[in-house]
Amino acid sequence: MSNRLSSPSSGMAERDPGLGRVVTLDARGEGVLAIVVGGVWAVADGLADTDEIERALAAETITAVVVASESLAAADSTLAVFLARVYDLCQVRRLALDVSAVGGGGAALLALARAVPERAGTDRVKPSRAIVDRIGISTLKGMSEFDGQLRFCGALCRSLARLVAGRARFRRRDLIEVLEEAGPHSLGIVTIISALIGMILAFIGAVQLRRFGAGIYVADLVGLATAREMAAVMTGIVIAGKTGAAFAARIGTMQAQEEIDALITLGVSPIDFLVLPRVLGLALMMPLLYLYACGVGLAGGMLVGTTVLDLSPLQYWQQTLFALSISQFVIGLSKSLVFGALVAIAGCMRGIQCGRSAAAVGEATTSAVVTGILYIIISDAIFAILLEVWGL
Amino acid sequence: MTIPDTTSAEARIVVENLEMRFGRYLVQREVSFRVRPGEIFVIMGGSGCGKSTLLKHMIGLNQPTAGRVLYDGVDFWAGREPQRERLRRRFGILFQSGALWSSMTLAENVALPLSLYTGLKPGEIAELVSYKLALVGLRGFEGFHPSEISGGMRKRAGLARAMALDPDILFFDEPSAGLDPLSAHRLDRLLMELRDGLGTTIVIVTHELASIFAVADDSVFLDAETRTAIAWGAPQALRRDCEHVAVREFLSRGGTEAFGTENKRA
């Protein structure tokens, strides 16, 4: 760094040790502060400090500031930012600033940065950090979120009414696609999850029940838990993560790319056209998936029951049949129907509510899964209460 | 440069003192203009001034907070939904990105409006669809999905869909954005042919100067600063002698005298 300035004896010098940048302050009589910049200004060295200048401006009776360059070897935006800071400091103190003696295009860059006035009204109000404010804001957010869900449900009800009246418009192929995607394409994951859940239930039961010599009741435990609860809930959760998320991503992308606007302007309700086939498809397919998951779950339980406990498959099977009644399956079937509809509603709702950017599509997808699972658990709790009340 | 008389009978579209807001944020206010039947009308202005938003208010995607939009004297927002739907059926809209339905082929995209609103047989629809696609230079692309073709082609396919029902009013949101100069020129010619041949009224939102001067019969300029419409008339005339510097600057890419001296000083 041969081109570094030596600091004049009368002024204050600020120099970054080891860096190529030099800023020299020099009070030239008559209340003029001269700032001399030189050396190499590179963004790799970070931004230049202006504290020294601020102190100089505050301490002395300065009325004007002159910036000049001397042995300025190279300068990038860091010099322009430095000049902009000096400019701001001068603006605050209403000092005249002269940057005409700065080489390297610094003055031109500063002029360019200041040429277009800040667009009025672009300042965002920073969210307050006060606890009361935050509670208020999140309450309002929650209310508008709930309002959005109610609105969507209302629109869906109207759409269902149109379906009953035979006036809802959607493509049959969309419905078939949903059936295919939720049904055959989900069998693999449903098989794995259901079999493992059946086996886990059997293991837990076997360990406990064997101690009382009641090992045979593992079949009851697995059968009841699977048919009443686990098959429906687990398929619901799997489908929420798989199909519900796919719905949100698909519809959200359509929203982001104005495809939904194109439907509306054509006079086609996006609820009819996009949501209805998905809700119907999933509500139809979920009970079938449930029956399949029941079968696989019971088989998984039987596998563990017959290997861990000394039960013959026939014994286990008879005990299962003895424990289960048709009503257990009816309960499970109705649960799965409701779960299917809710997962589809959550997915489609998040898609329709999606913003118009790629990031918003991602958020909609995540939110669809969370909402779907939440709906499943809440409705399962309601089922539990109702079944208790009805004594089923 | 006076505010046009929006009460005249020969207007196809009248926009009257329209005010648009997003929540508390004011986009534009007191926007008024009229579009005569069979003309190409351009809504222009700098980026972010609310041109596309104005279009969305005109086609009924957003409801204005004040003011009216009239089609042949019928107030779009005063009536009930069935009336709005009837009006919408007269529109053809080309969205900024084309907005083709991504799960459908090009042919299905163009066919959907036809199958919804006409009693045509599938064979007849297919024939019409092929004709419309050929009109925008996409003959043979019937079976392609939107993801398989280029942005310019998507835009043209969007135009074919917008024209599917032979609408009497066509709306275009930035039609030449993202098109190469030759495609943009072809699109301009197509617009003029639609106007001359079918008498279609065309409303375009754009800031492409070449396109504006090539096709516009009339225009309105939305100012981002004052958030309202400040100039009306044929773009050539506005470039020459509009009282607002902002408009002259816009139409001459900043090449007016006032801006020139400022440039030199900097």
Residues of B in contact with A254 (CB under 8 A): 101-102
Q: Which two tokens stand for residue B95?
A: 């969205």
Q: Determine the residue type at B6.
A: T
ipTM score over 0.95, yes or no: no
> Is B170 in a helix, a strand, or coil?
strand
Q: Which residues contact A52 (CB under 8 A, 6 or more apart)?
A: A12, A14, A23, A25
Residues of B in contact with A264 (CB under 8 A): 60-61
- The Cα–Cα gap between B129 and B152 comes to 19
Give the single-character DSSP code of A45. Answer: G
Q: Does B87 touch chain A (CB under 8 A)?
A: no
Instruction: Identify the pLDDT of residue B176.
Output: 83
The pLDDT profile of chain A, 392 residues, written as one tens digit per residue, is: 333 444 443 344 444 544 578 888 887 667 788 888 888 888 888 888 888 888 888 776 788 888 888 888 887 888 888 888 888 888 888 888 888 878 766 677 777 777 766 665 565 667 677 889 899 989 999 999 999 999 999 999 999 999 999 888 888 889 999 999 998 999 999 999 999 999 999 999 999 998 888 888 999 999 999 999 999 999 999 999 999 999 999 999 999 999 999 999 888 889 999 999 999 999 999 999 999 999 999 999 999 999 988 889 999 999 999 999 999 999 999 999 999 999 999 999 999 999 988 899 999 999 999 999 999 999 999 999 999 998 87
Please give, rounded to a whole number of angstroms, the shortest distance from the CA of B101 to a CA of chain A: 6
Nearest by CB to residue B266, choosing from A112, A258, A262, is A112
Which of these, B169, B172, B143, lies nearest to B156 by C-alpha position? B172
Task: Identify whether the C-beta of residue A42 lies closer than 8 Å to the C-beta of residue A74.
Answer: yes
Tell me how crowded residue A309 is: count the other CB atoms within 10 A of its CB: 18
Q: What angle do CA B105, B106, B108 make, to 5 degrees?
A: 65
Please give, rounded to a whole number of angstroms, the shortest distance from the CA of B266 to a CA of chain A: 6
Q: Does B209 touch chain A (CB under 8 A)?
A: no
Please give, rounded to a whole number of angstroms, the shortest distance from the CA of B245 to a CA of chain A: 16
Residues of chain B with pLDDT under 70: 1-9, 256-266
Contact residues of A toward B, CB < 8 A: 108, 111-112, 115, 119, 121, 169, 174, 250, 253-254, 257-259, 261-268
Residues of B in contact with A115 (CB under 8 A): 266
Nearest by CB to residue B99, choosing from A112, A121, A259, is A259
- The Cα–Cα gap between A50 and A219 comes to 78
Please state the pTM of the whole predicted model.
0.78
Nearest by CB to residue A266, choosing from B25, B102, B113, is B113
Asked if A259 and B100 come within 8 Å (Cβ–Cβ), the reply is: yes
Instruction: Identify the pLDDT of residue A285.
Output: 95
Q: What is the largest CA-CA distance in chain A?
A: 108
Asked if B56 and A261 come within 8 Å (Cβ–Cβ), the reply is: yes
Please give, rounded to a whole number of angstroms, the shortest distance from the CA of B80 to a CA of chain A: 13
Asked if A267 and B61 come within 8 Å (Cβ–Cβ), the reply is: no
Q: Determine the residue type at B98.
A: G
Residues of B in contact with A257 (CB under 8 A): 97, 99, 102
Q: Provide the edge-to-edge strand list for the sheet that holds B66-71.
A: B25-35, B13-22, B66-71, B74-75
> Is B96 in a helix, a strand, or coil?
coil
- The Cα–Cα gap between B90 and B85 comes to 9
- The Cα–Cα gap between B266 and B261 comes to 9
Instruction: Identify the pLDDT of residue A117.
Output: 61
Which of these, A204, A202, A191, lies nearest to A231 by C-alpha position? A191
HSE, side-chain direction, 13 A CA sphere, residue B218: 15
Going from the C-alpha of A249 to that of each of A226, A260, A338, A384, the distances in angstroms are 31, 13, 22, 32
Q: Which two tokens stand for residue A288?
A: 């079938």
First to last CA, chain A: 88
